[in-house]
Structure 1
């Protein structure tokens, strides 16, 4: 299940629209939420499109310097779910003009988002390592081929653990400074 903003979802699943650009989606998104800056709206659209391209639901092609996104044969509306914008998820125009404490809050929020993603990635990596270990034990004849994958997943888990610790320390420092 791929969660995307409800406004973007409605625009993307529209059967009449087979192709669209970042600008078109950004404009639609900004009409529904006038407090969002061009930059933040563009980032939201880019992230959404990048996820859909990665899942091979959309294809992108460069046409005279402009990226055109098209629905692929793998496009399936059943795999998409609307996600409402929550709280301070998007930096608004009014937030750009606030005091330094809000700057710290924004930085902390951004760091927490990254931290949450790393924690999800860590759980995935741990699960992958555990599964490769189980496969190595279940299929000893394939152990020589599976073991490098197991070690790679373990190394990835270690790297993510380090990143998580660094982010947690940074968040703590910013909290104490604000």
Structure 2
């Protein structure tokens, strides 16, 4: 009695690859939170998280870039010590920097959309397009970060802007330049 076996693909290779890349960027996002520098103008430290947000959008696109950063938020909310300074838990998602945290998936999706459109495509676009996408992502991060900081700290939007946004402009310019360098070096390596 001969038996035939058929193999059934339960999950496609593309989905598995996308989930793996999203998990990798979520882990990278958590690791980047440990690279923290005090900001002399603000009680909020400077981290490399925004750089990873940019790279997630650029390399993963609008959907999976946002998914990767959402995975990071879920892990941190559930207790993994992946937020700035190794903090974790729901308290970080409602604290003074919560606006930043909630903005990250939106910013990654926006950067991905402005670089790729609705479908993941070639991220080797013009430098002007890359920088424009990251500036737009930064605007989203600052807008929600300032609003969240103002609400939680019970200060006006003007005071919150100087503490939660203006104090970070030099660091963000460095992160944008670093992201362009990373993308350009990857484009050179791919050729």
TM-score (norm 1): 0.30
Instruction: State the structure with more CA Rg.
Output: 1
TM-score relative to the length of structure 2: 0.29
The answer to which structure has the higher strand fraction is 1
